[in-house]
Each structure stands twice: as C-alpha cells, then as structure tokens.
Copies of this chain bind each other. A is one copy, B any other.
C-alpha cells in the first residue's frame, strides 16, 4: 500500500529525526524513499539590491552554497537508506518549499509524506513550523506524518 515515501529535508534536527523515522518505516514496509531538498528561493532574493542591477555575481555563490547544503542533507538520507537496504532517490529543486514538496509528491505519486515538525526557520516556541503547517493544509489527498523534533 505504502510504496513511496517522500522525505523533505532542510537538514534541521527535526528533519533528520523524521528522515531516520521514515527510513525505518520504509524498511518495515519494503517501500522506497525520495529524499527531497528544496533550495529555498526566498533565501537569495535580495531585497536591498535594485532588480535592474546585475546581481548574478552575488546570487550565484549563495545558490551554490545552498545547493551544496541540499546535496549534503539528501546524501545523508541516501546513506542511511543504503545501510538499511532501502531503495532511495535524491531530488533537489529550487523554489518555494511548500510548493516544491507538493509538486514532487504529485510527480512521484508518493503514498506518504513524512516530515519534521520544525525546520530551520521555525521559532522553537511554535508547535508546528510553517512548512509542516503549510503542507498539512494543502488540498491534496496524500497523508502527512509529522515527526516531533
């Protein structure tokens, strides 16, 4: 029934915990894991630089840095999958995290999304981070499992 589990990660503690949980569950279910990291476009849209200026030399290093981080986060999940004989795939995209999670969920026809309750940008005081909250509130019919950080 559950054959593909989507695991979005931003490398945060809660995301890492959710990923470990997802891999263990995938092993039990003989399901595969899609490790997704979204390069958050909001992180490098610089508000203070005029839109007309050539900002490529400023933007590119930021995007490269974020891409390296995304590769590292997803690679960690892949390694954990390999160790547990769980099939896995890495997906790295650029855009808004919630939109990209939804797009990948539909594209790959996943049967479950497992994510941490809090990402990097969340305030520790909130019970649910904005990305987890956003994904749960999307109008799609895929179950979402929230793992508390």
Chain A residues proximal to chain B, CB less than 8 Å: 1-2, 21, 24-25, 28-29, 112, 114, 117, 127-128, 136-148
The smallest beta-carbon distance between A103 and chain B, in angstroms, is 17
Nearest chain B residue, comparing its CB with the CB of A28: B29
11 more A-B residue pairs beyond the given contacts A2-B28, A28-B28, A28-B29, with a C-beta to C-beta distance below 8 A: A1-B25, A25-B29, A112-B145, A127-B138, A128-B136, A128-B137, A136-B136, A136-B146, A142-B148, A143-B146, A143-B147
A114 to B21, CA, bound (A): 15
A136 to B112, CA, bound (A): 17
Q: Could you say which residues of chain B place their CB within 8 Å of the CB of A117? A: 136
What would be 5 A-B contacts, judged by CB atoms less than 8 Å apart? A29-B29, A136-B146, A141-B148, A143-B147, A145-B146
